[in-house]
A = this chain, B = another copy of it.
């Protein structure tokens, strides 16, 4: 095995048990809460506990999206805190906050994500460079996914713009992350499933674990993400949020997972 890291090992163990690599994104949206739950923080909590209880045997990771909790105000973050405690230890928590700032501020961001919430992984903005990321990387037993090529239309504004070497910006970011990873061994990349470029990205970064959003509601397919996104250990994290949390009427969360992994 190329990568050996406590969090990677948990992902691989989960994958071997359930035979797929789906990560469930937790994006609690009051407007989408099923009618059977009251539209309150309590109602949302009942709903999310139900989601976790029904999916915990059928996903390799959870990815709570901090902003969706923040949008409910500070009580929403309290809910996130309680929820993190409900997620079984075997299933790593990727705290999706897209953080990154000057060094002493990044240190504080990392404290919130790892020391306070006890998350196992973070997502990070590369723009400000090395000293904005290292305070995260220094949490050695945690994993850190740096934005590479994202799944949204705006990826063409900067990420896909060519640099002086004729390659797009996201190449520079990925190559820099490969270099940093030689020191840390706990770096992964966020690479969107909606891009044809996925295979090329994997070619330049054989080893780094990819967190692949954009499957399901955003239009990417699981099979494409899985075929092209795996690293040499066969590890990939394929995230679906809305499609699992809010499936069409009459379809359970588990059925939604199985329909995604067949896509």
Q: Which of A's residues lie within 8 Å of B, judged by CB?
A: 27, 65, 67-68, 70-71, 73-74, 77-78, 81, 98-109, 111-112, 116, 125-133, 147, 150-159, 161-164, 166, 169, 172-173, 176, 213
Contact = CB atoms under 8 A, between A and B. Distances in A.
A176 B159 CA distance: 13
A249 B132 CA distance: 30
Contacts of A103: 152
A111 B72 CA distance: 9
Nearest to A147: B127
Contact of A109 (B67, B73, B126, B133): B67
B108 A68 contact: yes
A30 to B, nearest CB: 11
A102 B169 contact: no
Contacts of A128: 147, 150, 152, 154-155, 159
24 contacts: A27-B105, A65-B105, A67-B99, A67-B101, A67-B109, A67-B112, A71-B107, A71-B112, A73-B116, A74-B78, A74-B116, A77-B77, A98-B101, A100-B125, A102-B213, A125-B127, A129-B153, A132-B152, A132-B154, A158-B169, A158-B172, A162-B164, A163-B169, A164-B164
A66 to B, nearest CB: 8
A109 B67 CA distance: 5
6 shortest interchain CB distances as A-B pairs = A129-B154, A129-B157, A70-B112, A71-B108, A67-B108, A162-B164
